[in-house]
Amino acid sequence: MRSFPGDRAGFFKLGQGWSEYRLGPKGTPQVAVLSPLPFNLVMRDLSLVLGNIPGINHAMYPDNITIWSRSNSEAQTKEMLQTALEITEECFQDTGRKLSPGESVLFLYRSNRWGGAG
């Protein structure tokens, strides 16, 4: 723990409440075991909302969200994913987090009628 950089600052939102903004010599860098905890606490509400969108699935990792949909229609898939993206941006507005366009990717996968990639 001594090798962690000092002078860390931060706060988080849980539900409708905000923690105090604090400066301190300790923190949890992204490689630390506890670093996913604040992300998971803050993103809990987003997970609940995404879980209620028909046709949308998601998985959350430390500082990363994967959203996917399965549909036979490419247009329908894009529409569902766009809805999920807009909801994610809305949820992020109050948390101080932002989506990273440079790290966001739309990947369409189609299987052929024999079950393999097409």
Give pLDDT tens digits for 17-40: 777 766 655 555 555 555 667 667
Task: Indicate the average pLDDT of the chain.
Answer: 75
The larger pLDDT score, comparing residue 35 to residue 106, is at: 106
Contacts of 11 (CB under 8 A, 6+ apart): 18, 19, 20, 21, 22, 96
Give pLDDT tens digits for 47-67: 899 999 988 999 987 667 889
Determine the 3-state secondary structure of 9 from DSSP. strand
Among the ranges given (4-13, 16-25, 75-84), the one the predictor scored with the smallest mean pLDDT: 4-13
Looking at residue 66, its amino acid is T
CA distance 3 to 21: 23
Rounded mean pLDDT of 62-91? Answer: 87
How far does CA 67 lie from the centroid of its chain?
Answer: 8
User: Is the pLDDT confidence value at 112 over 50?
Assistant: yes
Long-range contact set of residues 83-87: C-beta below 8 Å, sequence gap at least 24 = 83/53, 83/56, 84/50, 84/53, 84/56, 84/58, 87/46, 87/49, 87/50, 87/53
Banded model confidence at residue 2, pLDDT cuts 50, 70, 90:
very low
Nearest Cα to Cα of residue 85 among 106, 112, 110: 106
| Res 16: pLDDT | 76
Rounded mean pLDDT of 66-82? Answer: 88
The residue ranges of every structural domain in the chain are: 36-103
